[in-house]
Amino acid sequence: MREPTPRQGPVPRLFDSLTEDQYGEFRGQGITVKLASGSYLFQQGDPVDRFYAVTRGRLKLFKLNEEGREVIIRYIEPGEITAAITVLKDAVYPVTAEAVGETAVLAWTKTSLSALMRANSDIAIKLLNIAFERLNDIQQRYLELCTEQVDQRIARTLLRLMQGAGKKTDGGIEIDIPLTRQNIADYSGTTLHTVSRTLSAWDKNGWVKSGRRRITITNPHELVMFTEGSAESRFS
């Protein structure tokens, strides 16, 4: 009995505990927003007003420092949510959300989510779970940034992107996001030049194939070995 609105994407994991009726009703309260590639859903410093679930495309969440350098916090894939802090308090978004490719999101107001939380206590638990997962992820990456060399971090970045947006092709697993060298640098904590050099080396190695805004991981296993292997197996 879902489908009071036409199906527009995966059901966000947040709503796993809802019945189809409950989800249908809640979904009906949300507004679909279509975003052109590169447009901002919200920006760092804006007052928080909505809570979002991505249904198509993806969002890049990033922070800018004072000098305008961009650091990518994470990509929000279809079925994932963002800006959940909306429910809790008046705040400002701590990050900017930019659409990567043609993207659609569902947007709900503060009040609508609060009502849902009151009606279904599992939602708060689920939100808490998601928050802890993200805390874990960023803490792990913080560790890596502190202790690992740049090529190891780039390898990890590719594997993470593969995890979230990998598409099996005959040549390997393609990362289904148009990514520039700069984007990968912003995700790995380095510069586009270093990323370019590293990918070139791995291209020759046969670990990845990459072109303009396109990366295919041809040998995920070696890449994993490289992230684990503590520096002895640096490529020659």
Partner DNA sequence: CGCTCTATTGATAAACCTCAAATACAGTGG
Partner DNA sequence: CCACTGTATTTGAGGTTTATCAATAGAGCG
Candidates 80, 98, 151, 174: give the one binding DNA (CB under 7 A): 151
C-alpha count within 13 angstroms, C-beta hemisphere, residue 62: 22
230 binds, among its own copies, DNA, none (CB under 5 to 8 A by kind): its own copies
Angle at 37 between CA 31 and CA 40, to 5 degrees: 60
Q: Alpha-carbon Rg of the chain, whole angstroms?
A: 19
Stretch that binds its own copies, among 128-136, 157-165, 192-200, 215-223 (CB under 8 A): 128-136
Residue 89 sits in the site that holds its own copies (CB under 8 A): yes
Binding mask 5-44 for its own copies (x = CB under 8 A): ----------------------------------------
Around Cβ 209, how many Cβ atoms within 10 Å?
17
Task: Please give the single-letter amino acid code of residue 142.
Answer: Y
Output the smallest distance, CB 91 to its own copies, in A.
8
Candidates 43, 111, 180, 233: give the one binding DNA (CB under 7 A): 180
Task: Give the residue with the Cβ less far from its own copies, 22 or 114.
Answer: 114
Candidates 29, 191, 205, 219: give the one binding DNA (CB under 7 A): 191
Distances (CA, A) of 124 to 73, 83, 117, 179: 23, 14, 6, 34
User: How far is 91 from 71, CA to CA, in rounded Å?
Assistant: 21
- Name residues contacting DNA, limited to 203-222 (CB under 7 A): 203, 210-213
The closest of 31, 38, 181, 29 to 105, measured between CA atoms, is: 31
113-118 contact pairs (CB < 8 A, 24+):
113/51, 113/86, 113/87, 114/87, 116/26, 117/87
Per CB under 7 A, residues contacting DNA are 149-151, 179-182, 189-194, 196-197, 199-200, 203, 210-213
Per CB under 8 A, residues contacting its own copies are 63, 65-67, 69, 71, 73, 84-85, 87-89, 94-95, 118, 121, 124-125, 127-129, 131-132, 134-136, 138-148, 189, 228, 230
